[in-house]
Structure 1
Amino acid sequence: MRILPLRTASGALLSVAAIGSLLVLVLAPASVHAQWWSSTPADFEECAALAGKASTKDEQTAKLSECNAKFAGRRKPGGGYTYYDFMQNRNFDIAGPNPTPEEQKKIDEAYITYLERERRSTAAAALAAKHQERQQQRKQLQQVSLRSERKVPVPVASPTKQPARTTTASPPRTRSVTGCVKGTFSCDWPRLSEGIKDIKKLFTGPPHKGKKS
């Protein structure tokens, strides 16, 4: 058996090692570098800066969408982060680029309070609108009633159609043949006087004639 010199054997081992290293690099799965960034960005702003370096606009849009999905918070000018909840249309201060479980719990509780407040506000607005509608209808009815009263006056009977007044007037006085007014004492006294004389004659009888001597 031929023994290789020590220098030759060591050189062969180095060559095999080099070839093996190349094979590992070539055959390494692509999943090791699945994300497009070389180092994990700290927050949305850093991720967006990396996405802006993409070669095409479509690629920039796709990478920026990944940044938005990975980081919910945004940097504040004075430090710290803020989280915008579009369901409540308000911002919440958070410590890091994403809300912690405790911070998320507070955001959810605020959303429940927001829904209850919106429900009460909607109910109050509906009640106020209904009350205003009733007031408007009542006002319209009053206006219609006033116009009707002005257009249709109370009917008044015509003077020719008014019933004659019933008065107990004394019968008209007429003049007698003698010229006196009947019904007056001066005109009726002679007649009454004759009547009284006739009554006396009934009780006294005819006057007695004196005896002849």
Structure 2
Amino acid sequence: MSSPARAQWWTAAPADYEDCAERIEKSTASKDAKAVALSDCESKFAGRRKRGGGYTYHDFMQNRSFDIAGPNPTTAEQKAIDEQYKTYLDNQRRSVIVAAFAEKQREAQTQAALETDFRQTAETPSDVKPVVLPRPRPKVRAKEPDCAIEPLTCGWSKLSSGLKDIKDALFGTPAPAKTKRT
């Protein structure tokens, strides 16, 4: 058995994306079938119709549009778009290199400024004199008696310090006297 003949042989194929999308919208197909058909239109036609006539091709890699003669770019137009893309990539690469170089210089300047500030703060200016704090005086002890010259005073001081040590050991050190407030 032969398959039924399609009766669409007299209709022309869509001329561009807009014509294809219009035909899909007029069809009675389901939403899913329309979405698949619209995707098919997008793959067939790269260019979009402009209002004043002609077509435009949007290159998403450059985020830029190009004017083209028909619904799809010709070989020469595609070559020109590719050349523009190479130039775009070179400019991007240069700008990245320049930005990295500028960042490196900025870091070097910041580091040099920090080192200069550190050196300046480490050096004391000539008009500032260092502050000299007085040293605490050692406690003056009573002069020990010379036992060779005065044996009696030497024995008496030894005896009194020994008694004081025994008293402190037995009774503890006396608490400091409290002063009365008036």
Q: Report the TM-score, using the length of structure 2 for normalisation.
A: 0.61
- State the match for 1:195 in structure 2: none
The yes-or-no answer on 1:75 pairing with 2:49 is: yes
Q: Which has the higher contact order (CA 8 A, sep 6+)?
A: 2
Please give the secondary structure, in 2, of the residue aligned with 1:27: coil
- State the match for 2:30 in structure 1: 56
Please give the secondary structure, in 1, of the residue aligned with 2:83: helix
Distance in 2 of aligned mates of 1:105 and 1:42: 23
Distance in 2 of aligned mates of 1:83 and 1:109: 15
The yes-or-no answer on 1:27 pairing with 2:8 is: no
Long gaps (5+) in structure 1: 1-25, 161-213
Distance in 1 of aligned mates of 2:117 and 2:24: 69
Distance in 2 of aligned mates of 1:29 and 1:39: 20
1:3-22 pair list within 5 angstroms: none
Structure 1 pair 140–97 and aligned structure 2 pair: CA distance change class (3 A): same
Distance in 2 of aligned mates of 1:86 and 1:156: 71
Partner residue of 1:45 out of 18, 27, 30: 18
- State the match for 2:60 in structure 1: 86
Query: Once superposed, what is the RMSD of the aligned Cα atoms?
Result: 2.9
- State the match for 1:200 in structure 2: none
Report the Cα offset of residue 156 of structure 1.
7.2
Distance in 2 of aligned mates of 1:143 and 1:91: 52
Query: Could you tell me which amino acid in structure 2 is paired with residue 84 of structure 1?
Result: H
Report the Cα offset of residue 99 of structure 1.
0.4
The percent of aligned pairs where both chains have the same amino acid is 51
Distance in 2 of aligned mates of 1:136 and 1:29: 81
Aligned length: 129
Report the Cα offset of residue 154 of structure 1.
6.0
- State the match for 2:179 in structure 1: none
1:60-209 pair list within 5 angstroms: 60-149=34-123, 155=130
Distance in 2 of aligned mates of 1:145 and 1:112: 49
Report the Cα offset of residue 146 of structure 1.
3.6
Report the Cα offset of residue 110 of structure 1.
1.0
Distance in 2 of aligned mates of 1:69 and 1:157: 87
Distance in 2 of aligned mates of 1:122 and 1:42: 43
Please give the secondary structure, in 1, of the residue aligned with 2:51: coil
Distance in 2 of aligned mates of 1:157 and 1:140: 30
Distance in 2 of aligned mates of 1:47 and 1:136: 61
Q: Report the TM-score, using the length of structure 1 for normalisation.
A: 0.53
Distance in 2 of aligned mates of 1:70 and 1:158: 91
Structure 1 pair 158–57 and aligned structure 2 pair: CA distance change class (3 A): closer
Distance in 2 of aligned mates of 1:87 and 1:40: 30
Report the Cα offset of residue 88 of structure 1.
1.3
Query: Could you tell me which amino acid in structure 1 is paired with residue 106 of structure 2?
Result: Q
**Which whole-Å deviations, capped at 9, do the CAs of 1:54-85 have from their partners, x for residues lacking one?**
43221111111000000000011111000011
Long gaps (5+) in structure 2: 136-182
Structure 1 pair 56–154 and aligned structure 2 pair: CA distance change class (3 A): farther
